[in-house]
Structures are given as structure tokens and as C-alpha cells.
Amino acid sequence: MKAKENFSLALLLLLCLPFVLPVRLSAQARNPRAENWFRTGVEERDSQKKIEAYLKAIEYEPLFVEALFNVGVLYRQAGKFDLAETYLRRAYEAKPNDPTNKIRPKILLNLAAVQRQLGKLPDAEATLHRAERVAVDRKTRSKVAFELGRVLYEQQKYQEALGVLQDGKTLDRTTQSFFSNLIQIVQKEMQVQRLYRQAQQAIARGDLAAAKAVNTKIKALKPTFSRLDEQIAHLDSVTKTRAEKEFLQDLYNLAKQHTAAGNIVQAINTYELIEQKHPNFMDVRTKLQDLRKLQSKKPAEKTLEENYTLGVQALKAKNWTGAIIALEKVKAVDPNYLKV
């Protein structure tokens, strides 16, 4: 929890300080009217009036980098990300070869942030790679590395993100703890993904116990992780169904063995147990009909004795279902038979 809080604080410090603030004039505008409107925008306090003033400056000087940048930043602050992207991109492209343009890293950092807000993560990544090439001082390079690491992380490029963050951590001592927290988050996600692949392999081979064990490990790392829950529930259901069918098949084979050995009562009881669990299993009903006809020819006393013996044997074996079936039959014929 603390790591997440520190991560949020890192974003606040890194993104909401100088790099999201409009800039003052760093170079003389060629058009005096453009410069005057720019200064008006700087002095204005109302955001909308600021934008209007900067737009006027741009009318007089379309390649006015600082004015374009400030409009983009103000639109970003207002949550108008499409417009922000347009003006920040124009600011970046206005004077690509001008050596006096010192705000290019700021432009690119803001542009990447806006693209991220718009869900354009590949574009944000490309923008930050451009920022890497133009950033000079270590603090700016640190900010670029942090943002690039985050964008890579959000695209699930964990190994690449880890490398960028580990390199970026060395650039600025004041931000090392923030990098450490994000590195920890990335490494944890990498571990979750490794475990997820293990669980998928276990599910593919039908190993329910292994899949559940790995999912438990994942939940310990990431309690909200739920991508495996449905698959495990399905495998659990399939496994139970398979186990039940195997159990019924074993009972069916046992009933056939009893029939072949002439143990009619035991065969009937076994088929009835199958019928209780799955009435339509194979030809159980037909088998029961045939065996009951055969049993009806036996003396009632003999059938009573056999069921009683089977019931007692089942009790000793702790086969409670078999015991109940056999002894209930005895009770139905003679409730007082040997104190049943």
C-alpha cells in the first residue's frame, strides 16, 4: 500500500511542477504584436483569457513556440486533451532545427502526458523516446526516464520498463526513491505474469491442484487479480464431472461383477446406488429391471438375509450409503428383522 502511495506522490511531484506550467518568453518574437499578446497572456489570471491572448499571438506569428506551448499546457490543465495534443505537437514541429529552442523537452513531456491521457500509449512512448534525444540536463533526463518507464509498464513491456527505470534511477538522487517504488511495482507485475503463465500451463494439462496453488500465490501478490478465476472454476467443474463419471463407471463395473458372480442382491443394490446419483447412466434401468425379475423368483427370507448381511458389511466398511440402501430394504419387508 505504501509503495502505491509513494508512486502516486512521485507522479504528482514529477508531472505537476515545472513541466505543466506555461513558460515566459525565452526568445524575442519577430512580430511585436505577437510579443505584446504573449505578454498579455502571461499577465492574465483567467485561463480562458490567457488562451485567447496566446492565440492572438499565434495569429501574428504562427510559429511562436512559447505561445503554442502555453496554449497546449492550458488546454491540458482544462482537460481538453485533443486540443492540447494539437497545440503541443505544433509547438514541437514549429522550429525543429532552432538551437535556441530550450523548451523542447518540456514540450515533449507534456505531449506524451496528453497522449497517455488519450490512451495513445504507443504515441506517448515514441514521443518520450524523442524527448530522450533532446533532454540534456540530468533532472530532465530523469523525468523523461520515469515517464517512459511508466508508459512501457502500462503497455505491459515490463522488461523494457525495468531497464529504463534502473538506468533513470542513477540520474537524479532526489528522485531515486520514486524510481525504486515504480521498479518494485514493475518487478511484482513481472512475477505475477510468470506465475500466470505457470497457471495457464497447469490448466492446459488439467492439473487443477497446481493451478489453484499458483493462483493463490498470485492473489498474495495482487489481490485484485481475477483473470484465472473463471478458468479455474471451469476446470474445477470439469474435474468434478470427470471424477463423478469415473466413480459411476467403477460402480457399474462392480455391479456387473456381482451379477456375473451370482450376487444378485449386491448387484441390485449397486445399480440402485448408481440410479440415485445418475438415473440415466448407461443401461442401469434395464439392468435393474432384469435383476429384479430374477430376484422375485427367490424366497423372500433369502433376500432379507442377503440384504441384512450386506448392510452389516457396509456398516463395518463405513460405506454409509450402501448400508442405508441394504438395511432400508430389510426394514421395508420386516422392521423387526434381527433388530434392524
Compute the C-alpha angle 293/286/322, nearest 5°. Answer: 80
Q: pLDDT, tens digit, for every residue of 88-110?
A: 999 999 988 776 678 899 999 99
The pLDDT score that the predictor gives to residue 216 is 85
Out of 22-31, 241-250, 319-328, the most confident range is 241-250
Strongest mean pLDDT among 221-225, 226-230, 234-238, 296-300: 221-225
Cβ contact 139:117 at 8 Å? no
What's the whole-number average pLDDT of the chain? 83
Residue bearing the bigger pLDDT, 264 or 114: 114
Q: Output 309 or 36, whichever has higher pLDDT.
A: 36
- Tell me which long-range contacts 25-33 makes (C-beta under 8 A, separation of at least 24): 25/66, 26/66, 26/100, 26/102, 26/103, 27/65, 27/66, 27/100, 27/101, 29/57, 29/61, 29/64, 30/61, 31/60, 31/61, 33/57, 33/60
pLDDT digits 0-9 by tens, 17-64: 445 556 665 555 678 999 999 999 999 999 999 999 999 999 999 999
Determine the longest span between alpha carbons in the chain, in angstroms. Answer: 122
Q: What is the pTM of this model?
A: 0.66
> Which range, of 10-14, 60-64, 159-163, 191-195, averages the lowest pLDDT?
10-14
CB 154 within 8 A of CB 146: no
Question: Which string of b and e fits 97-119 if b means at least 16 CB within 10 Å?
Answer: eeeebebbbbbbbbbbbbbbeee
Kindly list the structural domains of the chain, giving each domain's residue range(s) and its CATH number in brackets, ordered by start.
2-188 (1.25.40.10), 228-297 (1.25.40), 298-340 (no CATH)
Q: What is the pLDDT of residue 18?
A: 44
For the chain, give percent helix, strand, coil, nearest 5: 80, 0, 20
Instruction: Provide the pLDDT for residue 19.
Output: 54
Please report which confidence band the pLDDT of residue 179 belongs to, taking 50, 70 and 90 as the band edges. very high
